[in-house]
A = this chain, B = another copy of it.
Amino acid sequence: MITDIAARAKKASRALVGLPEGAKAQALRAAAQGLREKRADLERENARDVAGARERGLSTAMIDRLTLTEGVIESMARALEEIADLPDPVGRITGMTRRPNGLVVGKMKIPIGVVAIIYESRPNVTADAAGLCLKAGNAVILRGGSEAIHSNSAIAEVLKGALARSGIEPDVIGFIPVTDRQAISELLSLEEYIDLVIPRGGEGLIRTVVENSRIPVLKHYKGVCHIFVDRDADFGKAYSICINAKVQRPGVCNAMETLLVDEAVARDFLPGMIGLFREHGVEIRGCEKTRAIVDGVLPATEDDWYTEFLDLVLAVKVTAGMQEAIDHIEQYGSDHTEAIITENYTRAMEFLRMVDSSTVLVNASTRFADGGEFGLGAEVGISTSKIHSYGPMGIEDLTIGKFIVFGDGQIRT
């Protein structure tokens, strides 16, 4: 059944290449309208998932993320409309140059083909991922988690119905209705039909996908994001950015997990900073130097430097300058997002150049590492592999350039 869904998606994807932008945008708007009209159905199916989650004793946080309220459904619909409005990358021609033999060579953007999304928990991924893939001319195969199976299935049905009404083959959305691990293994062997796999969820899910896939995978395992407070930092900016990066939404991948502070300012900076964190309920685990400056800080273990706490817990380390901070990020970081807070031009540019994480910021919160915030419209995921896409991945990276060549009879000699 899974092979059949993938084969049909592959076949249906061919027609998407030639589809004009207007047709894709119209279908996405119809899908948005469909979600609004079918709200009662979606809420009913979602209630089954929520009841199941309660029975299985899932945490309140997880049940919150699972629940489809009127507001969540409306924001799903609006996201589809925003995707509809994004410029279509498909067919864009770039870099045409004339070669000495008269050949004119350049690149044309085409869809990747068939993209499989393997995800957990939040049902809105179903609509977002399908919308982004479709806009870029790709078929999508959706395999959500068991906890959201009824919600995801209902959303996929609404989307497929809107496609059919818009004259697009509904097989371009392949929904996998089974949620066991066996289904993932089968999916990951279908190199013939699937061009790219994007897993979204916990580190365990992502490692399973990477270890079992013959298909290219774009993923990030985790976000151990750092902020380095330089000796020339503006403390006001540093306080507000660090609080924002740790506290505003601690459970997401672009929240700060480790704070690095230049020892030249650690004595002046840390007492106020840690005081603020404590007011926000953040538990601090510090290096020896941190503990010598501020009372009551727990000792950080070696493991803490590698940890994505996803919670109101922060590791703090005092470094002998920027180079030690960069070395720390290189050793313990996850290539996700790092920021420097400084008024020093030279160190700002050096940090930007030498830290090779997928997003590097100067004087701004790590929480901005997000496709929407970067102007990509929305993101289908975040990649920390330096292949194809690095950082938030939008519709542009759901296409690839093929070489096109205009000749007038040239042969190779």
Which A residues are closer than 8 A to B by beta carbons? 14, 17-18, 91, 97, 99, 103, 105, 108, 110-113, 191, 195-196, 210-211, 214, 216-218, 234, 236-237, 240-241, 243-245, 248, 330, 352-354, 356-365, 367-369, 373-375, 385-388, 390-392, 400-413
Contact = CB atoms under 8 A, between A and B. Distances in A.
B365 A410 contact: yes
A175 to B, nearest CB: 23
A110 B360 CA distance: 12
Contact of A403 (B103, B108, B330, B369): B369
Of A14, A196, A214, A405, most B-chain CB atoms within 10 Å: A405
A196 B353 contact: no
Given A110-B386, A403-B360, A404-B352, A368 B412 contact: yes
A232 to B, nearest CB: 14
Given A108-B353, A216-B216, A386-B400, A405 B362 contact: yes
Contacts of A360: 402-405
A401 to B, nearest CB: 6
A386 B17 contact: no
A237 B409 contact: yes
Contact of A358 (B244, B367, B368, B402): B402
B358 A403 contact: yes
A211 B275 CA distance: 53
Nearest to A412: B367
Contacts of A216: 216-217, 385, 387-388
B352 A411 contact: no
Contacts of A408: 237, 363-364
30 contacts: A97-B375, A103-B373, A108-B352, A191-B210, A195-B385, A195-B387, A211-B214, A216-B216, A216-B387, A240-B411, A241-B409, A244-B412, A248-B411, A248-B412, A352-B404, A358-B403, A359-B404, A359-B405, A360-B403, A362-B406, A362-B407, A363-B409, A364-B410, A365-B407, A365-B410, A365-B411, A365-B412, A367-B411, A368-B405, A374-B403
A362 to B, nearest CB: 5
A364 B407 contact: yes
